[in-house]
Amino acid sequence: MANGDWDLFSIVHSSKDTFLTPSSTIFETSPHIQTTFETSPHTLTTTTTNTIISLQNHTPYFDDFTLSHENNSVLFSPLKSNDFLSFKNFISNSNPTLTSPIRTPTITSLNTNISAFITPVTTNTTFTTPTLTAIIPTTTFTSPISTTTTNINTSINGTKRYPIILDFPIFIKQQQTKPNNNDQGVSPKPSANIEITTAHFDLAYNHPSVLRKIQRKCNQLPIQVPQTSFGVMPNTLSLHPNRKVWKRKNNNVKILECHLSVEKIKEDPWTWRKYGEKIIKGSSHPRSYYKCSSFNICSAKKIVEKSKNKENTYVVTYKGHHNHKEPKRKHKFAIGSFRNKSSKEGLSIAKVAESSSNVRNMGLSNVVTTHFDQTENINTQILSTQSKVLYPKNELTKNHLFVSQEVVSSSNVENLSSSNVMMLQFDEPKSSDAQVFTCESTIPYSQTKSMGSCDDDHDILIPNMRAMSDDILLDFNHLNGRRFFS
């Protein structure tokens, strides 16, 4: 796939006045805010170091921070280019001893530059960790201010009020130093496998800059937060007695598209039942339609089609979400076993699948099927995001970031090496309903390990609809006056 086909989804951490930019990408860690406060010249420098992966420049999001000055504090939320004015006033008003000298300062320089230094990603798997530096206000005063500010206790503390992606790029760096045992005689291998889990999306959804826009302009474009119209369920009051009618309004909404190897399809912990197969015009491979078979009212579906371009790779599109836990074990005919030989496509999969090891790590979150669901409509989304609760610890762990420890240990490395990249995509802004997330990953469902610990004391997380119990879901259904899972 040509890189030009991808627009990277932005987990947008933008400043208040910056619209989310669908075509740019930023992943960032918790900003580490370091400050230096010098009295001569009177300079406050705040250095916020984020770790960012991006293909293009992007207005960064600065986490809220509090400037404490003696017994006073001011919250900056977030940092804006004119914050230095607030800072100046703050300094002026907080300490009477400064009033006189500051009243008539000669400001020799004001540096309000906020700039992001982002190194372009040169390959799909080489990431840089640029430094983002913000300098607020760099104000140089003339004397006599330096003689009156020597004992001022000034500090800046990041408030870290909202969840952010923790430690994500750190793991990337670890991966980059790890030799790849399977890297034998094949041209450059991905140095990092990045498994995109619900954590990324949840945190993106929950980001305050995102939520504000949803609640304010949920119907306007561009849409910053994934939303679907997939809530149109099969009509149980069908006009045709012998046939159910599936209303296909907005049926073209893609939830998530993945390019997966055979192994990863096999390791999909969910169970699926095939309900259709279609020859698609212009495609040499048929498209298979699957429904989740674990739970009779689960609306999760997936569409599998063999990739045109890559052998042993399948394009898997997931729709809807599971309203239940992962099955403890797959029954023997679950998708992935491909027992039937009459389908040519299935046969090719079956050969590989049967020769592979058994499915492992059933309980782990997988890349997409478990958690990349959307709330059923915008109303629900607002409802859920207005109720902030803490995850139960086990759910938090389950949904946390996973990074694989090994490069794919299959025989198909050469076919997968070019796809070992995390790509998330917003649809074109003109598309009013569809939000396309595209994830191209070679991470198997297994071979993953939770490497992150959660900052439980600080993170405030939004309830994860699919991680919640069915009872809670029913409550939501009542609140919204309709049923989602029927």
What residues line the site for Zn ion (CB under 5 A)?
Answer: 292, 294, 298, 300, 322
Contact flag: residue 50 with DNA (CB under 7 A): no
**Tokens, residue 237:** 């009051």
* Interface with DNA, residue 280, by CB under 7 A: yes
> At residue 356, what is the residue type?
S
Cα–chain center distance at 236 = 35
Q: Which is nearer to Zn ion, 456 or 470 (CB)?
A: 470
What's the CA gap between 152 and 137, in Å, rounded?
17
Q: Degrees (nearest 5) of the Cα angle 126, 12, 230?
A: 105
> Minimum distance from CB of 478 to Zn ion (Å)?
22
**Interface segment toward DNA; rule CB under 7 A; list 137-145, 160-168, 267-275, 371-379:** 267-275
By CB under 7 A, is residue 178 in contact with DNA? no
- Provide, rounded to whole angstroms, the least separation between the CB of residue 421 and DNA: 25
Per partner kind, with CB cut-offs from 5 to 8 A, the member of Zn ion, DNA, none near residue 298 is Zn ion
Report if residue 252 touches DNA, rule: CB under 7 A. Answer: yes
How far is the C-alpha of 199 from the C-alpha of 11, rounded, in Å?
11
Nearer to DNA, 55 or 253 (CB): 253
Under the criterion CB under 7 A, does residue 249 sit at the interface with DNA? yes
Cβ-contact 186, 417 below 8 angstroms: yes
The option from Zn ion, DNA, none interacting with 212 (CB < 5 to 8 A, set by class) reads none
Rank residues 41 and 327 by Cβ distance to Zn ion and give the closer one.
Answer: 327
Which of 347, 339, 295, 287 is CA-nearest to residue 315? 287
346 binding partner (options Zn ion, DNA, none; Cβ < 5 to 8 Å by kind): DNA
Return the exposure string of 108-121: e unless at least 16 CB atoms fall within 10 Å of the residue's CB, then b: eeeebebebebeeb
The pattern of x and - marking residues 285 through 324 that bind DNA according to CB under 7 A reads: --xxxxx-x-------x-x---------------------
Per partner kind, with CB cut-offs from 5 to 8 A, the member of Zn ion, DNA, none near residue 234 is DNA
Output DSSP code: residue 78. S
Q: Per the structure block, which two tokens stand in for 166?
A: 């923790």
Collapsing DSSP to helix, strand or coil, 315 comes out as strand
Residue nearer to DNA on the CB measure, 20 or 298: 298
Residue 280 binds which of DNA, Zn ion, none (CB < 5-8 A, kind-dependent): DNA
Interface with DNA in residues 189-248 (CB under 7 A): 234, 240, 242-248
Q: Supply the minimum distance, in Å, between the C-beta of residue 226 and DNA.
A: 18
Other Cβ atoms closer than 10 A to 381: 23
State how far the Cα of 267 lies from the Cα of 275, in Å rounded to an integer.
Answer: 20
The number of helices, as runs of H, and strands, as runs of E, in the chain is: 11, 18
**Tokens 């619900």, located at residue:** 198
Per-residue binding string, DNA, 329-358, x by CB under 7 A, is --x-xxx--xxxxxx--x------------
227 Rama sector, left if φ>0, alpha if ψ -120 to 50, beta otherwise: beta
CB of 236 to Zn ion, least distance (A): 19
* Cα four-point dihedral sign 357, 360, 362, 367: negative
With respect to DNA, which residue has the nearer C-beta, 277 or 428? 277
Contact residues for DNA, defined by CB under 7 A: 234, 240, 242-249, 251-252, 271-282, 287-291, 293, 301, 303, 331, 333-335, 338-343, 346
